[in-house]
Structure 1
Amino acid sequence: MIPHGRPALTLDDVAVRAGVSPSTWRRQHHAAFTAAVQPLPGSARPLLYDAAQTEAHLAGKPIPALPDAPHHGDLLTDAEVAAITGLSASTVRADAANGLLDPGIEQHGRRWWTRAAAEARATRPTQYKGRTPGAKNRAPRPNTPDTRVPEVAAALAAAEQGRQPAPTAQDIATRYGVSTRTAERLLAKARTHTG
């Protein structure tokens, strides 16, 4: 999380502020810095550090605390947004790509979302169309019988008795307003239909 109004720095940015090269920083100053200044919560690849805390450490002053109260402008990672919304991090990224969530902003090589956007997504109902998450019923859904199959079977039986000509796939397609392939499937089911 990058707190609202608090710029974040990478280790290379910290080295620039200290006035040394990144390699010199890593060799001579990195251990003391990381012992005194903790990375921002949730930051990884790259680790990010608060600019105010960094400046205080470089000036030899006491390190100020990060804000402890959440702010609607805080920038959150996909994992932090997932914790607020109850989704997975991959769903957060997919929702942002599909327009179901604010697209976020790109900083330090990764995407960040505001706390306000995460909370808005958390209150919006899901658009999931499949089985309800957490459903205990794992049985297949009941299959409703096709009422056309017995009608086609009756027409086939009447044709066997010589009362009418046998229906063709084209006749069935015209009668029910379906494709020829669907009519062929209805004929196949009607031939095996009992009852």
Structure 2
Amino acid sequence: MIRAGRVSFVQTRDELAETASVAVGTRPSMFVKHKRYTAAGHPPPINSPGARVLLWDSEQTAAYYAGTPVPPLPTEDDGEDLLDRNEAAALLEVSAKSWDTYKHTPEITPHLVKVKGVEHCPRRIVTAYRSARQAGPGDAAKPGRPHGSGDMVPRDEIPREIGALLEEDPAVTSKTVMTELGLSYVTVTRTLARLRGEHIADLITSQPDLTPQDAARQLGYPTAVHRTAIAHAQTEIRARAARPYIQEIADTLAGAGLAEHQDVTVTHLADDHIAAALVLSHGAPAPALVWDERSGWRTATSRRHPIRRNTGQPPQGEPIGDSDGAPRPAPAQLLAALTARTDRTDEATRQN
């Protein structure tokens, strides 16, 4: 950081090389090439570790190359200290990537300054923004994405990003994930519950004698999240058990020419129910079939969105043959019912 009142002393690596090369008897380019500024006892850069552009305090470096004692920099924090990207992010307890988003808020943007080409923000501005997020009224107190914006992580990358944080800290909180990744509360809580549930299901599968509660404790999940994580784990276990049956149905229909070959996916619905959809071929009696663990097989009117995921309601299409009330009819039984429906549809078309 640039301590308060010391902007005039800031120097870049090239500026340091120009002045120091005279003292060490070398060309500036050789000074940089051999990284003479990394020698033992040399004043360290004043910006954060890992910064792309290194900066020094010229009063310190001048003393070093003059062979005089290097004056210490102030150690007490001041509201006018200028923080670089990494330092501002650390003060907010977010990633540098998240800071790149927050710095565009109206509370911060007008106060950003560039010193020697490096962007900085006064400590007092970052501190005030942090305080507002933690305790202030309204949206400023809320972690996560800025108001009015979408999730900051592409949808298909969200599970991987949250999964990495969960692997690093099994007890990671929703607030931490929201702040770190710039995601909404709903996105974070749903994804955390799903990932924890899948991990519990994995552990129970490998150690069948474990109870879900024991698995959750063994994985290090906080007691407060056990209920939702275990509920998702139980749903996930049912989904894994149902998938071979649904895949057998899909293969049977494909073999009869009523559907293309497809790898089935079992979907978690609201209220911890599961369902799966099979897209049918053109000319079949319906665009798709939906299997729901509560009501068996029914037709669907949409190929793109055959399952209404977040309603918790069973499918509204017509039941297929004898599957109504029998959630898992045999593949041959379902094929016969669907073939009969196809024949009736063809007959009605000819009559019209």
The TM-score, its normalising length taken from structure 1, stands at 0.60
d(CA) in 2 for partners of 1:133, 1:115: 31
- Give the CA deviation at 1:19: 6.5
- The answer to whether 1:40 aligns with 2:37 is no
Instruction: Name which structure has the greater RCO, CA cutoff 8 Å, separation 6+.
Output: 1
- The answer to whether 1:14 aligns with 2:16 is yes
CA-to-aligned-CA distance 1:36-67 (integer Å, 9 cap, x gap): 22221405222211111012123221001111
Corresponding residue to 1:89 among 83, 96, 104? 96
Corresponding residue to 1:131 among 175, 185, 193? 185
For 1:77, the aligned partner's letter is: D
d(CA) in 2 for partners of 1:68, 1:107: 20
Paired position in structure 2 for 1:150: none
Paired position in structure 2 for 1:192: 316
Corresponding residue to 1:106 among 101, 111, 114? 114
Flag as ranges the 4+ runs of structure 1 deviating above 4 A.
31-34, 132-143
- Give the CA deviation at 1:12: 0.9
d(CA) in 1 for partners of 2:98, 2:4: 25
Structure 1: unaligned runs, 5 residues or longer: 144-188
d(CA) in 2 for partners of 1:50, 1:31: 12
Paired position in structure 1 for 2:328: none
CA-to-aligned-CA distance 1:52-83 (integer Å, 9 cap, x gap): 10121232210011111111111112221122
The TM-score, its normalising length taken from structure 2, stands at 0.36
Q: Quickly say closer, same or farther: Cα 1:27–1:127, change in 2 above 3 A.
A: closer
Paired position in structure 2 for 1:165: none
d(CA) in 2 for partners of 1:132, 1:76: 32
Q: In the TM superposition, what are the counterparts of 1:1-195 in structure 2 within 5 Å? A: 1-6=1-6, 7-18=9-20, 20=22, 21-26=27-32, 30=36, 35-42=41-48, 44-103=51-110, 104-124=112-132, 125-126=141-142, 128=144, 130-131=184-185, 136=225, 192=316
CA contact (8 A) 2:47 2:84 kept: no
Identify the range of structure 1 (67-76 vs 43-52) with the bigger mean alpha-carbon deviation: 43-52
Q: Report percent identity of matched pairs.
A: 26
d(CA) in 2 for partners of 1:109, 1:19: 23
Q: Quickly say closer, same or farther: Cα 1:132–1:100, change in 2 above 3 A.
A: farther
Q: Quickly say closer, same or farther: Cα 1:106–1:141, change in 2 above 3 A.
A: farther
Structure 2: unaligned runs, 5 residues or longer: 133-140, 148-183, 190-224, 233-267, 272-312, 318-352
Q: Quickly say closer, same or farther: Cα 1:19–1:86, change in 2 above 3 A.
A: closer
d(CA) in 2 for partners of 1:14, 1:134: 47
Considering only aligned residues, what root-mean-square deviation do their CA atoms show, in Å? 3.7
**Could you say what secondary structure the match of 2:103 adopts?**
helix
**Could you say what secondary structure the match of 2:79 adopts?**
coil
**Could you say what secondary structure the match of 1:111 adopts?**
strand
- Give the CA deviation at 1:24: 4.3
d(CA) in 2 for partners of 1:116, 1:141: 47
**Could you say what secondary structure the match of 1:87 adopts?**
coil
d(CA) in 2 for partners of 1:78, 1:29: 24
Q: Quickly say closer, same or farther: Cα 1:69–1:9, change in 2 above 3 A.
A: same
- Give the CA deviation at 1:102: 3.3
For 1:22, the aligned partner's letter is: P
d(CA) in 2 for partners of 1:11, 1:45: 11
CA contact (8 A) 1:82 1:92 kept: yes
Paired residues in the alignment total: 149
